[in-house]
Amino acid sequence: MKIHHLTPEEALDSLGSSMDGLADAAIEGRLHEFGFNRIEESKKTSALLLFAQEFLHFFALILWLAAGLAFFAESQQPGEGMATLGYAVLGVIAINGCFSFWQRHQAEQAIAALQKLLPHQVKVIRDKELSLVFADELVPGDLLVLEEGDNVPADCRLLEAFSLRVNNATITGESLPKGRDALASDVEDITQSRNILLAGTSVVSGEGKALVFATGMHTEFGKIAHTLKTTVKSESPLQLQISRLSRFVALLALLLGVVFFFIGQIIGLTFWENFMFAIGIIVANVPEGLLPTVTLSLAMATQRMAKRQALIRHLPSVETLGSTTVICTDKTGTLTQNRMAVKQLFIDNRFWQPERLGSDSLQHHAAFLANAALCHNLKRVEGKDLLGDPMEVALVAMAHDQGMRVAYPKIGEVPFDTDRKRMSTIHNTPAGKYLFCKGALEMVLPLCKQIAIDDQIEALDDAHRQQLLTALQTMADQGLRVLAFAYRPLSEPVDEHPEQALIFSGLVGLEDPPRPEVADAIAQCHIAGIKVIMITGDHPHTAVAIARQIKLVQSDKPKVITGDLLKKLTPSQLQVALDAPEIIFARVGADQKMHIVDALQRKKHVVAVTGDGVNDAPALKKADIGIAMGRAGTDVAKEAADMILLDDNFASIVAAIEEGRAVFDNIRKFLTYILTSNIPEVIPYLAFVLFKIPLPLTIMQILAVDLGTDMLPALGLGVEKPDASAMNKPPRSHKESLIDWRLLARAYGFLGLMEAAAAMTAFFFVLNRGGWDYGEILRSHNPLYLQATTACLSAIIVMQIANVFICKQRQRGLFSTLLLDNKLILSGIVLEITLILAIVYTPWGNALFGTAPIDSEVWLFTLPFVIGMLVLEDFRKWLVRRFALFPIRIEPIKLRKRLG
């Protein structure tokens, strides 16, 4: 038999213990056998190894190869500037590695947070003496002494209990304190047994003695920790996209470098010319600023989200939010305000609003109001309001509002527990001793023989009982939590079982009001194609009623799945059930959340899940986006989550999703911007090989663009605010890539070619003006050659200044876009202009980048190309809007009518 099925004496005997506690001689042996009462920490990869990994991924290896080739070339051909190139590429590797390490180095603190919940010292009876011992030294068989306010350090079986109530929320997710006693239990689930105290929970009231039967990782608490430790967090969509993109770009660069090396060999270039050419191709095609720009863009997006009450813990989660297709949300505190309020009363056989009881309510309903004011376990802390169960706080507030502010001494209590579903308190009043009882109607009504109606006490007949049951159903259908009130005067001496022959005084309907902004947020989710699923431990009637209030469900019969039914469903049945357009999970335990998440992920959904308790942690970690509550959430939930809601508000999730969608769009914007400059960087090398002209652009000048002038404008594109239409379209498919053929065609085949044309034309303009003849060889230090390469570089940068405004908006024309609303882009342009002027007109810039001053005529020469690119791109966007978007723009109402 399990320990909770045994009597206290049998439980002690099964663990070789007694009411005197364990002998000291037995403790050391058990400590050696069972180990310390600790939660094992997961093995962590050393920070040094994590740091090293950032310099050894495929993207980095290509850059290492380029740097190595540059240093090898310098050793064979000194004085060609290849060493400078090598050091520059090493600088690129260092920047990428350090930023990526900062992003990745998020230490796993979930197990540490679990450990913090356990108390450091506990009261134990050993060898007949009460002593304080460290919690991690507890062993099975130890006898604990617990009282109000104590945390439970191990799984225990109660031996004695006096009005004991515990808060199990951190383990089971139950919000209400539960009564506990020492009687043998016949339930199968040990976590639901009334004689069991679980590690990580806390004693709300009362006192007792308990027998330790499980410690450390063998506790229910430890099992949650083990699940959390073994739950593998899958890579975010952005991580997968960046990984694929890095491999694609790196392989393309390497392949082009090898191919053009052999082309150079075929057309008769020397080995070292080919070698330099191949390195140039590799460097030109690797967007060195990509990874740090992505990381910085995500970091700045997290700052914007924090202002909207969403704190991001893992940077890739920013973009994952944007691809979310399903949100699984708790009800209490997230969709509702997490504060109970009395909404409706049923007194004198009719419904009342609390504020309409009237000025004579204190006289006509004194017993009812006294019940609300006195029957509770609240504590008053000096200088603060009443602390305790929010439901009891609401009842006392209602009584006070009606003028009932009595504080008669409590001389006895029959505590609440899950089986009785009621509690009673006994008070000394001026009229004598009175018992006040409150609880579920089905548990209170059988104890009543009379009912108070219009200041008269009448016999409680079947007609009255039916009226009360009908009123209960009416109130429950409104989503109210309903309590029944009853009372009786007590004679001396007080009966051993005072809860009998009660006088029924009324029903109270309490609600946790929905947050006013949630309905709009739910509507926005529906427009955005995001499915919202409520997962709650509340009664199905309450869940459905709240769902209707916030417009989560609008049909007559939404699909409701209870926790008991969920246990019976096979994985395939659950997946089919999730196809229902409106679905609610009620009376569901937090441990069942992970099954729902698994099923949704098998259906290829990107799932966001909210949670606040210890037992929510595995589901939070398993989900694509785990969202913990900042106010009500435990440390464990916060450590397992990717995002923390600072205000516990569902509307903040929707705001974060909007920001996440903007991130993906912004990354594509700056990818277009960065990749566009690859073409004017590659074409000079192709022209150099194929047409035997002087090399129009040096490798150092390529790096000046990729890591200098392009960086800040690209970052400015990465932090663009969400577009007004971001939430008016369905979630992006998980198969959609950051780079597709349309982006490449636009960057490489359209914008890039125009920039290359401007750069090459500027190069030849300076050469021809200086008297260069085709076939003439120009040395690398020739002033004319330096001016020509400077003109090529300057043209690329001027065109990129125009390109940043082009990439700012993917579909709208230039003049229908706010051009000056992004301060980072404007700062980037100022920096871009400053850098190119420094490169062109300062001695150190000339020496480092191989440039020479150019006159104003060269700058003016590029302006027609800038204007031409702006006009042609606006014309292209107009064509896309006219011929691609217009035919598929169907009004949603018309579509609904057709489908209906």
Give the catalytic positions in this structure. 330
C-alpha span between 86 and 106 (Å, rounded):
32
Whose tokens are 């000025």? That residue is 359
- C-alpha 704/C-alpha 793 separation (Å) is 9
d(CA 152, CA 347): 42
Q: Sign of dihedral through CA atoms 530, 531, 532, 535?
A: negative
Q: Which residues of 334-356 are buried (b: 16+ CB within 10 A; e: fewer)?
A: bbbbbebbbbbbbbbeeebebee
Q: How deeply is 730 buried, as exposed, middle or buried, from its count of CB atoms within 10 A (0-12, 13-18, 19+)?
A: exposed
Nearest to 646 by CA among 661, 663, 633: 633
Q: Any residues with CB less than 8 A from the CB of 25 and at least 6 apart, and which?
A: none
Task: Write out the two tokens for 743.
Answer: 């982006």
Beta-sheet pairing, 326-329 with 178-180: unpaired
* Residue 894 neighbours by CB distance under 10 Å: 9
Alpha carbon 553 to its chain centroid, in Å, reads: 24
Angle at 525 between CA 521 and CA 528, to 5 degrees: 135
Q: Are 201 and 167 in contact (CB under 8 A)?
A: yes
Helix and strand totals (H; E) in the chain: 35, 26
> What 3-state DSSP class applies to 126?
strand
Q: How many CB atoms lie within 10 A of CB 35?
A: 15
As a whole number of angstroms, the distance between CA 790 and CA 828 comes to 21
Tokens of 525: 């989710």
CA distance 239 to 245: 10
Which position has the token pair 């000194």?
78
* φ, ψ of residue 328 in degrees (nearest 5): -100, 115
Token pair of 738, please?
Answer: 């950051």
The amino acid occupying position 498 is P
Alpha-carbon span 425 to 411, nearest angstrom: 8
Give CA angle at 729 (806, 517), nearest 5°.
115
Amino acid, res. 363 = Q
Alpha-carbon distance of 664 to 319, in angstroms, equals: 6
Report how far residue 392's alpha carbon sits from residue 354's, in angstroms, rounded to the nearest whole number: 16
Instruction: Give how far Cα 725 sits from Cα of 325, 658, 665, 807, Å.
Output: 17, 10, 12, 17
Strands (E), 598-733: 607-611, 625-629, 643-645
